Amino acid sequence: MVFAPATCPRLIVKIGSALLVHPGGAVRRDWLAGIAADIAARIAEGQQVAVVSSGAIALGARRLGLAKGGRASLEDAQAAAAVGQIALSQVWAEVLGHERLTAAQMLVTLDDLEDRRRYLNASATLDRLLSLGVVPVINENDSVATAEIRFGDNDRLAARVAQAAGAAGVVLLSDIDGLYDRNPALPGAEHIAVVERIDSAIEAMADRGSASGMGSGGMVSKIAAAKIACAAGAALAIASGHAERPLAADARHTLFVPERRARARKAWLAGRLTAKGSIVVDAGAARALTQGNSLLAVGATGVRGMFFRGDLVTIEGPAGPLARGLAEYDAADVARLLGTHSEHQAAILDYAPRAALVHRNHMALL
């Protein structure tokens, strides 16, 4: 692994279902004990480590005898998660306890990290647990999450947890050793060792499949996670977890190089996943935004969706999404102001206009 204690004081390790659970639904306890030993070694060297662990649905489905690994319906998945989460947390407590480490369970939904106040609460809890030498074991609260309020995969959850914890690194342990320029099952597929910048060419390499059939993510979700992590200043590695001690192994992986660390609020904005709508802008406004300016009405050409003042919106330029920010107006008023200069806006609105549609202090470039 590329993360040394001196350069990565806090590390988030995500473990996929296919690594933690046998196809028949039993926990791979010996392998998990190796992970616990790796974590103990990291902590002894000065790192603080949190785990994002999949596996609750797979474990619960086995105990309940549910078809399709508990994913035949939302109700099955919620029931399986409720049963499996107890088993999962117990196993983690046991293997970490064997290494004289204390485990803590944190269950979150998308809303917990999208709402600013709840995000800060989660961040404070993570910070305190890690400072106490505890190993937080985090999972999505699938027993109550619905399609509208769920991450859908633990890759992006791990990236958001890294952001909330102020971690410098994320390792996604998976059933594949990184990104390839095409589906690795195809002849001539080449492994990508380092990604300096995630662009359309990198995104096109992603394959949507989850090889095991147990997980909910594929390479697409891992690329999305890398974008969130890197925007928050954290390096992210995709590595195979098939080794007996994967965190100690010097094995092939793909490293996504982080951008310059963003201010905490802007990193949170960039990482949010549930925009309420979008504002479309022209090329001139797009250039102005990249230079650090606020979004003014004169450069806006369209509005999509129903949102209210304070909601998160995406700003879309001619080449696609370029920023996220908090709207200063309701969607209806944005529509009335499209293309207008500030001196005309009071007459249109019948009240004093604000400085911008989206202020630069409440905006993050993508």
Which residues does the annotation place in the binding site for ATP?
14, 174-175, 216-222
Amino acid at 351: Y
- Residue position matching structure tokens 């660390």: 261
Per DSSP, 54 falls in state: -
Between the CA of residue 263 and those of 44, 233, 295, what are the distances in Å?
A: 30, 10, 19
Binding positions for substrate:
54, 142, 154
Both tokens assigned to 252: 């092939």
Reduce the DSSP state of residue 289 to 3 states and report it.
helix
d(CA 278, CA 280): 6
d(CA 26, CA 4): 32
Quick one: which of 13, 69, 6, 19 has its CA closest to 38?
Answer: 13
Degrees (nearest 5) of the Cα angle 178, 105, 13?
15
d(CA 289, CA 271): 18
Binding positions:
14, 54, 142, 154, 174-175, 216-222
Between the CA of residue 219 and those of 1, 176, 192, 215, what are the distances in Å?
A: 19, 9, 13, 11
d(CA 298, CA 280): 11
Handedness of CA 210, 215, 216, 222 (dihedral sign): negative
Are the C-beta atoms of 18 and 211 separated by less than 8 Å? yes
The enclosing H or E element of 173 equals strand 169-174
**Residue 273: burial class (beta carbons within 10 Å; 0-12, 13-18, 19+):** middle
